[in-house]
Amino acid sequence: MSKSEHILSHYNPAVMEMHRALKLAQDTGASPDVIKSIETALELVDLREKYTDSVTSGETEVFHKILTETYKHDWQSLHSDGKTKWNLRPKMMTGNLEGQFLKSMVSIQNAKRVLDIGMFTGYSALSMAEALPADGELVTVDLEEYLETFTGSLLRESPHSKKIQISIGSPSDYMREAVKAGKTFDLIFLDADKSYYLEFFKIIFEEGLLAPRGTVLVDNAFAHGSGYKPSAEENSTQRVASAVEADQSLHKVMVPLRDGVLILRRKTDVVGEVPQ
């Protein structure tokens, strides 16, 4: 599987809406100019994605294996047979663009210790581990016991796996134990169940899990549109966004990459000093 086959546009509800508009225009006999204009808009989205993909560095060989093995695995049956709690799907993988972004962030941060919450088949974990120094450490946490062996054997294909530790269980428990042991992380990537994020933020920012000058990255910050689409009831994505918005101690950047990546840092680490 090539890097571009793990496509990204399905994450954008505006693109889905454009596809619907095209079908509607065709079915209702709209003017050829209208149809052409919608087709051009969709082509531009596609071209932008291909361009982004072609300019971005490609992944190392082991990621092709992670992509291929993840796509050919029968996750549906595993779930139906009760072997996984979550209905895991290949589209959950971060993929090359986001993987390279994460790798850059680890490198820019000069991180030595990274925490990856939501391992799945290890794409984000390995992307970040590849940027760590030889004495660096990445802990990846997931609640699915099934993944310990499956992902463990995929990751061991890379020499960088020597820096990776897999922890199966509750991320909050892992985080609290780490705080108790005086362990901190320079970079924390959250890519799991959002209903726990407010609890994670408390441990990360208030209980001291995040190292001084550390960075938190929150994946799926758009939640396929449910973060910004008006809705009668506040969902977990909006609850996380409201809490983040209200927190004046944080510097925040919403990066519209794939399904949205929110960068959180302590404001005191970001705001520069005025020369005397």
Ligand X SMILES: C[S@@+](CC[C@H](N)C(=O)[O-])C[C@H]1O[C@@H](n2cnc3c(N)ncnc32)[C@H](O)[C@@H]1O
By the criterion CB under 6 A, which residues form the site for ligand X?
Answer: 86, 88, 92-94, 118-121, 123-124, 141-144, 171, 191-193, 196
Shortest CB 211 distance to ligand X, Å:
21
Hunting for tokens 């949205």 — which residue is that? Answer: 260
Residue 264 falls in which region: left (phi positive, over 0), alpha (psi -120 to 50) or beta: beta
Closer CB to ligand X, residue 38 or residue 209? 209
Closer CB to ligand X, residue 159 or residue 169? 169
Q: Which long-range contacts (CB under 8 A, 24 or more apart) does 266-270 make?
A: 266/205, 266/210, 266/213, 266/214, 269/212, 269/213, 269/214
Shortest CB 268 distance to ligand X, Å:
29
Shortest CB 227 distance to ligand X, Å:
15
Alpha-carbon dihedral sign for residues 117, 137, 252, 180 = positive
Closer CB to ligand X, residue 38 or residue 66? 66
Closer CB to ligand X, residue 175 or residue 264? 175
Closer CB to ligand X, residue 36 or residue 83? 83
Residue 112 phi/psi, 5-degree rounding, is -115, -30
3-state secondary structure of 138: strand
Shortest CB 143 distance to ligand X, Å:
4
Shortest CB 46 distance to ligand X, Å:
24
Give the number of other CB atoms < 10 A from CB of residue 221: 25
Residue 198 phi/psi, 5-degree rounding, is -65, -35
